[in-house]
Chains A and B, each alone.
Chain A
Amino acid sequence: MKYLNEYRDPKLARQFADEIKRITTRPHVLMEVCGGQTHAIVKFGIDELLPQEIELVHGPGCPVCVTPLELIDKAIHIASRPGVIFTSFGDMLRVPGSSQDLFSVKAQGGDIRIVYSPLDAVKIAKENPDKQVVFFAVGFETTAPANAMAVYKCKQENITNFSILVSHVLVPPAMEAILSSPSNRVQGFLAAGHVCTIMGYTEYYPLTEKYKVPIVVTGFEPLDILQGVYMCVKQLEEGRHEVENQYARSVTREGNTYAIDMIRNVFEIVERKWRGVGAIPQSGFRLTSAYAQFDAEHKFELAAIQTEESTDCISGQILQGLKKPFECPAFGSKCNPEHPLGATMVSSEGACAAYYRYRNYQKERVPA
């Protein structure tokens, strides 16, 4: 595999930064939607190359961060039961629930396994017919096709000991929630390249029209992000508000239609709770009634578990771009990666974790 260093070239990065500076005549607030982009911005120091007028605020696109506490508690409840193999992407295991995290459940004997794909979890289910195998299906549109495929496959092959705990959320409704908020500061978006690889970008046309904001589909490497910023700033400076595609090497207008069909076959759109933000209408997926037998919430009778979020943590405001991690009084003291108060400190894609890991020592020097 090639194409890594090509997108990290320091000379080209500097040229983009100079070009952005040249066209910038006034302040602009841009939001990068995806946690992977936030991570790259802080890891490579991309924001340090930008002129002062450009402020990047970090968006809600970290799947670990927005998964409600209640779902984590449900996961812990399932994973603690005998006869269950609980499978998940690695990130989720360290997210604190109300009283403990999944790693602690594992330490107490829970059979919890990290997998790289839900199809690996299906394989585990086949190999362990006497166990119930549950996969924690979190994420945005990016992970939905593989999760849909896992359930589809189980139905085809009549595998009955597999189910998924669904916490799927969708990007466009979250962007609309941010734009429609009276306290919104965001003037332009770098949309999440991976999400658009699946979904295409036609969903964004109504948003650019209604809210008069430019939306640039953007990749994850430093040069991608700098080019995305450039395209977004250029639109703002020229008074345009269009959908543009920076990440054309991966994203097409219509997206991956096969993946979209698979999602529509298995999931339906419903209201979902977002951690720190609250309920957003039409903002997530649940399994359709045809696949209800694979829904872990039904299988394990979890409806009774209801948890309220802690009020100490400002991750909700951070996820909406209203505050920066340094503005939280608990940042770096009461809240750190060993003892996270909220999910934005836990996930490697969370804004607080990225700030802690890459620039904690600058706390005094960086304006909030």
Chain B
Amino acid sequence: MNTQVKDNVTFSCPVPIQEYPHVLLAHGSGGKLMHKLIDSMFVKTFSGQTLDDCHDAAVRSFGAGNLAFTTDSYVVSPLIFPGGDIGRLAVNGTVNDLAMAGAKPLFLSVSFILEEGLSMQTLWQITRSIKDAADYAGVEIITGDTKVVDKGKGDGMFITTAGIGAVDPGVTISPRRITTGCDIIVSGDLACHGMAVMAVREGLEFESAIESDTAPLSEIVQDLLAAKVNIRCLRDLTRGGLSSALNELASSAGCSFQIDESLIPVREDVASACEMLGLDPLYVANEGRFVAIIDPADTKRCLQIMQQHKAGRMARRIGQTTQEPKGLVTLQSHIGAKRILDMLSGEQLPRIC
């Protein structure tokens, strides 16, 4: 008996994150704390060749081609906001994760966790919205699940979607393909989604309506691939904004990303709203934007193709990859000085004054 207890003690793994005895909201913010949690707890435990890539979607060979698989959960308050709702996010987000692996999205699963007391009218509106978004993105919903939890135990509703897509043979989109001398392209203007949600949440009214940018990106990516644009890597911009995405890629690729602040598209009203709340648009969430790291010979064609799509109309080249300083993102500021663009540790907090 004693031996058994002793063995249990010897072989039990210590909790890998010792600094925080409890999960904080910041652990889900897309910043350093979240990456640390994922790396030290999940990636280490579930480690495998595909998972370790930490790409938006996993790509595995299947039969003659490759399959991409991904999953994502959606929690947002309010459930319905200008330009979209949680249902539209749940479809577009998973479609976009597949698109970032170069996949043509085919099938989705949708799981609902509903809170007791949720208005049936709201649920119906979101269900219709899921159907619209799936039709628009050309993806079929083929399975699902529904659970209901006690009032107070879910924020109206949570949705989890998983998606499967097909990747053409010969398409490899991965941080490993990023080298120095590539161009960095952002597919559109930043920060609309985060500011649209925040405006509703905080009851703020701006002079012009700011709507979420939520949109499926698979069509743009498929057009780029069809035109043989040499795409090294793609990443959609979600929590943590442009800054987190670039830092993730620079760190995986082991090279430096240099961007120019004056080239980054941000609408004037969105920039003003950010400024009023003391937020930096480079850290604000997007739901229909991505960065593309591409061969500079293809930049012009890439921009032309992106700009033909509604979600890509404001696509711009914002910088390039260089050798040093390795793993970091540097930014040339509006007034011409250079500084580091770091990943935030947790959530971006509004300043006091």
- Interface flags, B271-303, vs A, CB<8A=1, else 0: 110011110000000000000000000000000
A114–B33 touching, CB < 8 Å:
no
The yes or no answer to A129 lying at the interface (CB within 8 A) is no
Chain B: interface residue count, which band?
Answer: 35 or more
Partner of B353, one of A2, A5, A93, A140: A140
Q: Do residues A44 and B333 form an inter-chain contact, with CB atoms below 8 A?
A: yes
Determine if B275 and A4 form an interchain contact, defined as CB atoms under 8 angstroms apart: yes
- Among A1-29, those with CB < 8 Å from B are 1-2, 4-5, 8-10, 13-14
CB-based contact B352/A91 at 8 Å:
yes
The verdict on A64 contacting chain B, using a C-beta distance below 8 Å, is: yes
Instruction: Determine whether the beta carbon of A4 is less than 8 Å from that of B350.
Output: no
Whether A94 pairs with B339 at a CB distance below 8 angstroms is: no
B338 at the interface (CB under 8 A from A): yes
CB neighbours of A4 from chain B (8 A): 268, 271-272, 275
Is B335 in the interface zone, CB < 8 Å from A? Answer: yes
Q: List the A side residues contacting B339 at CB < 8 Å.
A: 42-45, 358-359
Main secondary structure of the interface of B (DSSP, over half): loop
Distance, CA A42 to CA B339, complexed state (A): 8
List B303-353 residues whose CB lies under 8 Å from chain A.
Answer: 325, 328, 330, 333-340, 342, 344-347, 349-353
| B335 x A46 contact (CB < 8 A) | yes
* Beta-carbon contacts under 8 Å, B250-282 to A: 262, 268-269, 271-272, 275-278
Q: CA of A142 to CA of B278 in the docked complex: distance in angstroms?
A: 15
User: What residues of B have a CB within 8 angstroms of the CB of A107 in the complex?
Assistant: 22-25
Task: Assess the A114–B350 pair: CB atoms within 8 A.
Answer: yes
Query: Closest chain B residue to A67 by CB distance?
Result: B352
Residue A338 lies at the interface, judged by CB distance under 8 Å to chain B: yes
Min CB–CB distance B33 → chain A (angstroms) = 6
Closest to B278 in A: A348
Across the interface, name the chain B residue whose C-beta is closest to A105: B22
Chain A interface helix/strand/loop/mixed: helix
In chain A between 76 and 125, which residues have their CB closer than 8 angstroms to a CB of chain B?
89-94, 103-104, 106-108, 114, 116
Task: Judge whether A116 and B277 touch: CB under 8 Å.
Answer: yes
Size class of the contact patch on chain A: 35 or more
Q: How many angstroms between the C-alpha atoms of A94 and B272 in the bound complex?
A: 26
Cβ contact within 8 Å between A10 and B336: yes
Instruction: Tell me if B342 and A358 are in contact (CB < 8 A).
Output: yes
- Convert B2-31 into 0s and 1s, putting 1 for each residue whose CB lies closer than 8 angstroms to a CB of A: 000000000000000001101111100000
Q: Which residue of B lies closest to A90 (CB)?
A: B349
Which B residues are CB-close (under 8 A) to A64? 352
Contacts of B353 in A (CB 8 A): 36, 63, 139-140, 142-143, 194
User: In the complex, what residues of A have CB within 8 A of residue B55's CB?
Assistant: none
What string of 1s and 0s marks CB contacts (under 8 Å) between A152-170 and chain B? 0000000000000000000
Query: Residues of B contacting A357 with CB < 8 Å?
Result: 340, 342
Q: Is the CB of A94 within 8 A of B340?
A: no
- For A36-75 the 0/1 string (1 means CB < 8 A from B) is 1000001111101100000000000001100000000000
> In whole angstroms, how far apart are the Cα atoms of A91 and B32 in the complex?
17
- Residues in A whose Cβ lies below 8 Å from that of B272: 1-2, 4
Task: Pick the most buried of A9, A14, A90, A92: most chain B CB atoms within 10 A of its CB.
Answer: A90
A222 contacts partner chain B, Cβ-Cβ < 8 Å: yes
> How far, in whole Å, are A8 and B271 apart by their CA atoms in the complex?
13
Partner of B333, one of A45, A91, A106: A45
Return the chain A residue nearest B347 by Cβ: A90
The docked-state distance in angstroms from the alpha carbon of A70 to that of B339 is: 35
Chain B residues with CB under 8 Å of A89's CB are 350-352
Q: Is the CB of B262 within 8 A of A10?
A: yes
Chain A residues contacting B269 (CB-CB under 8 Å) are: 1
Question: Is A139 a contact partner of B352 (Cβ separation < 8 A)?
Answer: yes
A360, CB-defined interface residue at 8 Å: yes
B335 in contact with A44 (CB, 8 Å): yes
Q: Is B150 an interface residue (CB 8 A)?
A: no
Docked pose: A10 CA to B332 CA in angstroms:
11
Contact B207 A1 (CB under 8 A): yes
Contacts of A139 in B (CB 8 A): 352-353
Query: Closest CB-CB distance, B270 to chain A, in whole Å?
Result: 11
**Known contacts being A4-B271, A116-B277, is A338 close to B33, with CB within 8 Å?**
yes
Apart from A4-B275, A114-B349, A338-B19, what are 15 other A-B pairs with CB-CB below 8 Å? A1-B207, A2-B268, A10-B335, A44-B339, A49-B337, A89-B350, A89-B351, A104-B24, A107-B25, A116-B277, A140-B353, A194-B353, A337-B32, A348-B278, A348-B349
- Across chains A and B, which 3 residue pairs bring their CB atoms closest together, nearest first? A45-B337, A90-B349, A1-B272
27 CB < 8 A contacts A-B: A1-B207, A1-B275, A2-B272, A4-B271, A4-B272, A5-B334, A8-B335, A9-B335, A10-B334, A45-B339, A49-B335, A49-B337, A63-B352, A64-B352, A90-B349, A91-B350, A106-B24, A106-B25, A114-B349, A140-B353, A337-B32, A338-B36, A348-B351, A349-B351, A356-B342, A358-B342, A361-B340
